[in-house]
Structures are given as structure tokens and as C-alpha cells.
Chain A
Amino acid sequence: MQHLEEIRNILSDVLSLGERKNSLKEDSILLGSIPELDSMAVINVITAMEEHFGISVDDDEISANTFETLGSLTRFVEQKLVE
């Protein structure tokens, strides 16, 4: 997961996680564990990822499964990068 650190930084910046960023691991649950991460914030995270990685995310790809853990989100981005 070579992009895990970048995804963690994006989440931290967009959601203003502060020191909580350091406890985010690959298997860290995102949804339900980070109060700031709701449907409004997700749009900002997606936009930031699109700009950072130069990818395009379709509306239908924005799902709870993708955002379940830091690892699942990273896998989603890495999959988009090879498309």
C-alpha cells in the first residue's frame, strides 16, 4: 500500500484530525469512528483525492464500503490509478 500515507494525510488535512492522524492504521475503521466523516465531508475528501492523484471518481463509486477503513480507501485509490 504505497499510497497509504498520502491518503492518511489527505484525511487528516480535510477532516482536521490533528494528532488523531497518528493512530490511523491500515485496518482503522473510518465510518462511525471519525465523527467528522459524514456525507458532507466525504465530498471534500473525494475532491481532495481527485486533485492529488489526478483520478476521477464517479458518484456511484462513493460508498460506505470504500470508506470503511483506511486500507479499503487506499485500495480504491490504487485501483483507480491503474485504470
Chain B
Amino acid sequence: MVAIARPKNTFYQMLQQWGWGNLGLFVLNKFLFIVSKGNLRLYKYYLIAQPVAKKALLPLGRGKKIEVKLIHERDEIVHEFPRPTIAIQERFKRGAKCLVAFKDGRFIGFLWLLLGSYQEDEVRARYTPLPSKQTAWDFDVYVAPDFRFGLTFPRLWDEANRLLAENDILWSCSRISAFNTGSLGAHARLATVSLGSAIFFYAGQCQITLASLPPYFHFSRNSASFPEFHLNTEGLGKMPLVSHDKSSME
């Protein structure tokens, strides 16, 4: 039974939410990172798909004070994003769409969508959602700290789902860190389906990838070499939905 009287046992809570496997990897990563001064590190991602919801997450009338709009790359608001300018420019260059949430004119969050392949910027990997005409990629869902408990996250997703549905998109794929509890939990409530997982181990410039889906194993010596994951959502609607124990809301 989980102790909910006090937040006193962080370790137990992490174990409860992550399981022994992910907790072990998390501890191992911290250990490797410290002893190698950053040369050795590992990442574990869940590759997931969520259906484009036809029903709004927010009840009628809720979230109306939060304005969500699609912006273009020259919009001044991008300078308020807690991300490097060059990363933002690169996203737009690759055709990504950015939905931004405002409350009383103040920037409070964003969500990015992409039709086509997504080149990972944390590790060397490429994700290709399939079928391309009915599957999108969503990434970097951010909600400002003061608004993380409010309606911003579902409001952003309601607008994203509306936009995706307008473009006949049925599924949106994404990758979630196995060590990000907030993101795992939030996506679990979006009826996500697990497509697999991948572990990326870095030793200096070398990257070793072990995945539960093709290509299963990949060795990379430089940024020109990376595994490509084809995330096929064809027929997913006929499978039972899996509630994962998993905004990146960082």
C-alpha cells in the first residue's frame, strides 16, 4: 500500500511508479554520469501512440480563459520560450507546428506537432510515424510551472486534437523518457498505446541502442549514423488500449 499521508518516501514512490527495472537504470545512469564526468550516460524512452481524441478532454465551458493559437516562426513570443533559439528555428525549418497557450496575454505553455519524420535531439535516432497521412508526431509539451496544476495541459491537447482531426490525422506518436514520472502519468490519461521502448547508452562519442522494435540493435560512432524507428499505427484502433504507468512537463 502506498503511503499517502506524507511525501516522505521518495524512493518507494519512484519504485511504485517506475518499477525495479527503470529505477535500476535511473540509478545506474546517475552513477555512470558522476564517475565518468558525463562521458557515460543512458536514456530510456517509451515510444507511444495516442489516438486523436474526438471528444474534448475538458468539459464544456472549462478552459475558456486560456487562449491557444498556432504561431509562425517570426512570432515574437518564441523569444519567451525556455528553449534555445537555434532549436526553435530548426523545428520550424523542419515543418513543425507550434501551438502556444496564453492566459491574460501571458505565455504559459506550448505543444509541438510534426507531420513526417522526427530527428531526435537528445540522442541519435529518427522516428517515422506511419501511415504518414494519418499519423503525426508530437513533442516538447511545456507548461509554465505556475500553471502545471491548472487546465493548460488538457487545453493544449484539446486544440492539438482539433487541429490534427482537421487534417484527418488519427494518431499522434511521441517518445517519453522512462524517468519522467509527470509525463508518463499525463500520457497515461490520454489513452496511449505502447509501441515499444529503446535504451540509448553513450560512451563518449559512441552510442549503443537496444530497442524492443526494429532495428533492435544499432551502433553509432558519429551523428551521421543513427537508428530509424518506423512507428506504425495501422490497425492500432483494433487493439485493446494499454494504460501505461508512465507534459514533457519539465
The count of residues in chain B whose C-beta lies closer than 8 Å to any C-beta of chain A is 30
Smallest CB separation, B55 vs chain A (Å): 13
Report, nearest first, the 5 A-B pairs whose CB atoms are least far apart.
A40-B189, A64-B149, A33-B4, A39-B153, A33-B7
The count of residues in chain A whose C-beta lies closer than 8 Å to any C-beta of chain B is 28
Contact with B along A50-72 (1 / 0, CB 8 A): 00000000011011100100000
A43 touches B6 (CB 8 A): no
Residue of B nearest to A63 (CB): B149
| Residues 107-156 of B at the A interface (beta carbon under 8 Å) | 148-154
| A9: interface (CB < 8 Å) | no
B149 touches A20 (CB 8 A): no
How far, in angstroms, from A23 to B6 measured CA to CA in the complex?
10
Q: Which residues of A contact B (CB under 8 A)?
A: 19-20, 23-25, 27-36, 38-43, 47, 59-60, 62-64, 67
B151 touches A29 (CB 8 A): no
Q: Which residues of B contact A (CB under 8 A)?
A: 1-7, 13, 16-17, 57-59, 62-65, 148-154, 181-182, 185-186, 189-190
Most buried by A among B16, B65, B150: B150
B149 touches A62 (CB 8 A): yes
A39 touches B152 (CB 8 A): yes
Knowing A34-B4, A39-B151, A40-B154 are in contact, say whether A47-B59 is a contact too (CB < 8 A): yes
Extra A-B contacts (20), CB below 8 Å, given A25-B5, A60-B65: A20-B2, A20-B4, A23-B1, A24-B4, A27-B5, A28-B5, A29-B6, A33-B4, A33-B6, A35-B16, A35-B185, A36-B185, A38-B186, A38-B189, A39-B148, A40-B153, A40-B189, A43-B59, A59-B150, A62-B149
How far, in angstroms, from A33 to B219 measured CA to CA in the complex?
40
How far, in angstroms, from A36 to B181 measured CA to CA in the complex?
11
How far, in angstroms, from A17 to B136 measured CA to CA in the complex?
34
B3 touches A43 (CB 8 A): no
